[in-house]
Structure 1
Amino acid sequence: MPAAHRRDTPPPRTGSSETEVLRGFLGYLRDSIAAKVEGAPEPQVRTYRTPSGTNLLGLLHHLTAVERATFLGEEVADWQATFDAPAADSVADVVARYRETVARADAVLDGCAGLDAPVPRPPTRRPAPSIRWALVHMIEETGRHAGHADILRELTDGTTGR
């Protein structure tokens, strides 16, 4: 199968404040993984490509759950289950849900006073992390899975690049 190539997008040029840098890189990674999943063919996008059961669509579904847990305070009962998108959901559905969750998370971040403040969310048994911790965690989580998605998309239909 001939490989399709997308033009790679360089890392963002951000403002110089810590908040601008962290949010800029998180936004870049969010866009990168959504672009990697968009247009992926069914049913190959759901095909397990590793012995652990990882698939391209499941990565984005998982990241949606992580965003919701981190920034919106939603509880996740079974993290392993987040790696499989519902069969009734199309690629476009999963991408749209991810983008909507990101917009909601960004709205929360827009209302925060500073990086040392806790993530505002409903009370739970665990204390909320700081905005700084949440941003760094989402950068590493999204970056790690974006790397996985690069490989999985190439294995799915030969598409490489961003």
Structure 2
Amino acid sequence: MARRRDVGPPKTGPEEKDVLLGFLDYLRAAVIAKTEGLGEPAVRTPGVPSGTNLLGLVKHLTHVERHWVLGERTTRWAATFRPEPEETAAEIVAAYRETAARVNAAVADADPAEVRWTLTHLIEETARHAGHADILRELIDGATGR
């Protein structure tokens, strides 16, 4: 059973967007970390009757960010939790990282008042699913911590 040392909140810049993006990046990294070191099929292993799995959480969060910031509308939210058999873990994680970079760039020049609600929503959504990922990973191999 692997136990990682937990880490405290991120250090951020002084501006509002620095704080919001700092916490969002911190949570994104926590979600991705839960997939690291797991091969197939463990990364797809559902831990609960709904079928929720680590890779599905990453895929869902990618769609959430694309929807709310990049304007890529999603209508079938339940489908965003289901990785396709041909999608690899590496591809899904890479898509999440690429989306995060695009989102960060999109909000870099935005007025904080215009993106405050959206960034707060992304933090809430990512934190919620990071907690799910913590539990799923512990159920898979006992790993805990960030």
TM-score (norm 2): 0.94
Alignment pair present for 1:116 and 2:100:
no
Instruction: Quote the Cα distance in structure 2 between the aligned partners of 1:102 and 1:47.
Output: 25
Aligned residues: 146
Instruction: Quote the Cα distance in structure 2 between the aligned partners of 1:22 and 1:68.
Output: 17
Which one is further off, 82-91 or 59-68? 82-91
Instruction: Quote the Cα distance in structure 2 between the aligned partners of 1:67 and 1:143.
Output: 13
Instruction: Quote the Cα distance in structure 2 between the aligned partners of 1:38 and 1:71.
Output: 26
Cα RMSD for the two superposed structures: 1.2
Alignment pair present for 1:8 and 2:11:
no
Q: Equivalent of 1:58, from 56, 59, 64?
A: 56
Q: Report the 3-state secondary structure (helix = DSSP H, G, I; strand = E; otherwise coil) of the residue aligned with 1:72.
A: coil
Are the aligned partners of 1:61 and 1:94 in contact in 2 as well (CA < 8 Å)?
Answer: yes
Q: Which structure has more RCO (C-alpha within 8 Å, separation ≥ 6)?
A: 2
Q: Report the 3-state secondary structure (helix = DSSP H, G, I; strand = E; otherwise coil) of the residue aligned with 1:28.
A: helix
Q: Deviations over 1:61-103 (max 9, x none)?
A: 1000001001101011200000011111221111111001101
Give the counterpart letter for 1:116 in structure 2.
A
Give the counterpart letter for 2:121 in structure 1.
H
Greater share of residues in helix: 2
Identity of aligned residues (%): 57
Which residues of structure 2 form unaligned runs of 5+? none
Give the counterpart letter for 2:85 in structure 1.
A
Instruction: Quote the Cα distance in structure 1 between the aligned partners of 2:14 and 2:105.
Output: 21
Give the counterpart letter for 2:26 in structure 1.
Y
Give the counterpart letter for 1:139 in structure 2.
I
TM-score (norm 1): 0.85
Give the counterpart letter for 1:142 in structure 2.
T
Partner of 1:42: 40
Which residues of structure 1 form unaligned runs of 5+? 118-130
Structure 1 runs, 4 residues or longer, greater than 3 Å off: none
Q: Equivalent of 1:73, from 59, 71, 78?
A: 71
Instruction: Quote the Cα distance in structure 1 between the aligned partners of 2:79 and 2:96.
Output: 16
Instruction: Quote the Cα distance in structure 2 between the aligned partners of 1:101 and 1:15.
Output: 22
Partner of 1:137: 121
